[in-house]
Amino acid sequence: MLVYYPLSGFVNAVASSSLGIIALKHNPWSALNRAFAYFSFTIALWSAFYFVWQLSDTAESAIFWCRCLMVPVIILPSTVFHFSVTLIEQRKRYSNIIKIFYVCSLYFLTMNFGPGIVDGVTPRLFFTFWPTPGWAFPYHVAMTFVCFTWSIWLMYYSLPGFNKNKQNQIRYVALGILLAFLGGITNYALWFGVPVPPVGNTLVIAFVVLSFYAIIRYKLMDIKIALTRTSILLFIYFPLLVLPYLYGYLTKNWIASATLMWFIATAGLFLIFRLESLLETQLSQKVNSPYRLAILDSLTGAYNSSFFNKTFCEDIDEARKNKQKLCLAFIDIDMFKNINSLYGHQVGDEVLRLLVKILKKTLRGDDTVYRYGGDEFLVTFIDTGIKDVVMLSKKISGIFEKNHASILRDGQDVEINATLSIGVAEMSDGDRCDTIFNRAEAALFEAKKQGGNTVVS
């Protein structure tokens, strides 16, 4: 029976952290992805410390790990409310409430350094060391109930204002949060001396499972490749990491178990990256070659202007249908004609390839790069606001400026003073394809007028 509790913590930690990493890696500029990742990471940290606490063999170590696991537990109510209002696109409206909750969490964290949250440990049921509450613990529990119930109520109350796809996203995420909450609170009974074991721990995984389903079925956060990566993490990496724990449990040799777990965790990453590469290559090869040749620019590998003209209006319609933000960035290499004149077209071509390489490496999977003509490029950003796009554009400009000297000509480095001018426009109500494009183009002209090497929105 006791094996269930550390094992449930381990399962929750691996699953939650995996999904959080994927969301953050996919689009760190999206407020929704960031809020989702914060929520997932707090669950993962709580679960990881829960796992270690269950292996404690002294009262001192049990108190230490209990206070460690309370750090993410204290932050969790704030992150769930933050994520929930972001999902229903009410983050600005509740921004002050979010700040108040985080301030309350910070206050409870200060209490966690002493006996304010965890006063000590005592035997409960079949647990040798179970935490006893400090004076501030009941107030933390009250805040937890407020944040979770308010979050779930707001999500269901907001449903009529969204399209069917968004409603399904919200329903599954709300259900996952509800089940995770019901499972997590089964831990509170023993804190107050009620002889009810924390049997609901595995319900915490419901948040991960239902969020995973919402991603795949209803494109929550529009993670198109998440199925590949999450499947690898959950169904290959996780079983590998369970083996050291089972070895430690059977042999009681936890040092060897921890060493084996570290080795598998390290070596497993290389296996994961290799499998991801192979599977994503297979996914990309499903598009037939003649079609790809028709839509790609042969020099840079970016999509061509014809494909932009065909798909941009569709992207706008889809974003408007899903009530998502859409931004367009118009990029131009400053003084590119001088580069061709001074160093030749071969070096100029390398500069163009370098820019596309930087764009593809820096942007998330759903951002699309087009070569519009000559040294002009377009990038569409789905579900990302203009402030984040401007910030990302400045980052791209800085990377490009620092990396231009790596161009080779005749086996030698060629130092080229190349910079970018970028104009950014965001879709607004009533916009058409041409109106957004014209605003982005006008912003680019303004960047050029200012001397280049700048971003204008």
pLDDT given for residue 399 in this prediction? 87
Q: Do 20 and 382 contact (CB within 8 A), yes or no?
A: no
- Which one of 138-152, 366-380, 384-398 scores highest in mean pLDDT? 138-152
Report the percent of the chain where pLDDT is more than 90: 23
Q: How far is CA 125 from CA 2, 5, 122, 138, 449, in A?
A: 11, 13, 10, 21, 74
pLDDT given for residue 413 in this prediction? 63
Q: Residue 366 and residue 339: Cα distance in Å, rounded?
A: 31
Q: Residue 218 and residue 413: Cα distance in Å, rounded?
A: 48
DSSP 344: -
Q: Residue 270 and residue 290: Cα distance in Å, rounded?
A: 33
Q: Do 255 and 47 contact (CB within 8 A), yes or no?
A: no
**Sequence letter at residue 327:** C
Of residues 208 and 181, more confidently modeled: 181
With CA atoms as reference, report the closest residue to 176 among 283, 242, 80. 80
pLDDT given for residue 227 in this prediction? 43
Mean pLDDT across the stretch 115-123?
91
Q: Do 161 and 171 contact (CB within 8 A), yes or no?
A: no
Euclidean distance between the first and the last CA atom of the chain, given in angstroms as a whole number: 60
Which of 20-29, 304-313, 382-391 shows the lowest mean pLDDT across its residues? 20-29
DSSP code per residue over 274-313 = HHHHHHHHHHHTTS-HHHHHHHB-TTT-SEEHHHHHHHHH
pLDDT given for residue 223 in this prediction? 46
What are the φ/ψ torsions at residue 163 (nearest 5 degrees)?
-75, 175
Find all residues with CB under 8 Å of 47, minimum gap 6, and list them: 8, 9, 10, 11, 12, 13, 16, 204
Domain boundaries of the chain, sorted by first residue: 4-224, 291-456
pLDDT given for residue 257 in this prediction? 63
pLDDT given for residue 271 in this prediction? 57
Which of 122-126, 377-381, 440-444 shows the lowest mean pLDDT across its residues? 122-126
Mean pLDDT across the stretch 254-273?
58
Of residues 229 and 169, more confidently modeled: 169
With CA atoms as reference, report the closest residue to 264 among 235, 246, 234, 243. 243
Of residues 43 and 122, more confidently modeled: 122
- 28 φψ region: left (φ > 0), alpha (ψ -120 to 50), beta (else): alpha
pLDDT given for residue 133 in this prediction? 93
**Which tokens hold the place of 30?**
């999206």
Mean pLDDT across the stretch 301-325?
86
Q: Do 328 and 425 contact (CB within 8 A), yes or no?
A: yes
pLDDT given for residue 347 in this prediction? 82
Q: Do 166 and 32 contact (CB within 8 A), yes or no?
A: no
What are the φ/ψ torsions at residue 368 (nearest 5 degrees)?
-115, 135
* SS3 category, 243: helix
Mean pLDDT across the stretch 108-134?
90
Q: Do 359 and 303 contact (CB within 8 A), yes or no?
A: no
What are the φ/ψ torsions at residue 198 (nearest 5 degrees)?
-80, 65
* SS3 category, 432: coil
Q: Do 324 and 221 contact (CB within 8 A), yes or no?
A: no
**Which tokens hold the place of 127?**
């647990």
Report the percent of the chain where pLDDT is more than 70: 73
Mean pLDDT across the stretch 210-226?
56
Summarised one tens digit per residue, pLDDT across range 267-300 is 555 555 555 555 555 545 544 455 566 788 888 8
Instruction: Please state at what angle helix 31-53 crosses helix 4-26, rounded to 10 degrees.
Output: 160
**Which tokens hold the place of 109?**
């964290």
* SS3 category, 296: strand
Domain 291-456 maps to which CATH number in 3.30.70.270, 3.30.479.30, 3.40.50.720, 1.10.10.60? 3.30.70.270
pLDDT band of 320, cuts 50, 70, 90: confident
With CA atoms as reference, report the closest residue to 416 among 332, 339, 350, 358. 339
The residue whose two tokens read 């060897």 is 256
**Which tokens hold the place of 248?**
């430690």
pLDDT given for residue 365 in this prediction? 63
**Alpha-carbon dihedral angle through residues 76, 80, 86, 88, given to the nearest 10 degrees:** 180
Dihedral sign of CA atoms 137, 83, 51, 21 in order: negative
Q: For the chain, what is the mean pLDDT?
A: 79
The residues that bridge with 132 in the sheet, in sequence order, are 120
The residue whose two tokens read 């764009």 is 359
Q: Do 212 and 206 contact (CB within 8 A), yes or no?
A: no
Which of 201-205, 242-246, 284-288, 400-404 shows the lowest mean pLDDT across its residues? 284-288
pLDDT band of 420, cuts 50, 70, 90: very high
Summarised one tens digit per residue, pLDDT across range 333-361 is 998 888 888 878 888 888 898 899 888 88
Of residues 341 and 243, more confidently modeled: 341
Which of 64-78, 153-167, 232-246, 372-386 shows the lowest mean pLDDT across its residues? 232-246
Q: Residue 23 and residue 25: Cα distance in Å, rounded?
A: 6
Q: What is the domain class of 4-224 according to CATH?
A: mainly alpha
Find all residues with CB under 8 Å of 288, minimum gap 6, and list them: none
Mean pLDDT across the stretch 401-422?
70
Mean pLDDT across the stretch 358-384?
86
With CA atoms as reference, report the closest residue to 188 among 197, 176, 177. 197
pLDDT given for residue 218 in this prediction? 55
**Alpha-carbon dihedral angle through residues 425, 427, 429, 432, given to the nearest 10 degrees:** 90
The residues that bridge with 378 in the sheet, in sequence order, are 330, 370
pLDDT given for residue 288 in this prediction? 46
Indicate if the pLDDT at residue 10 is higher than 80: no
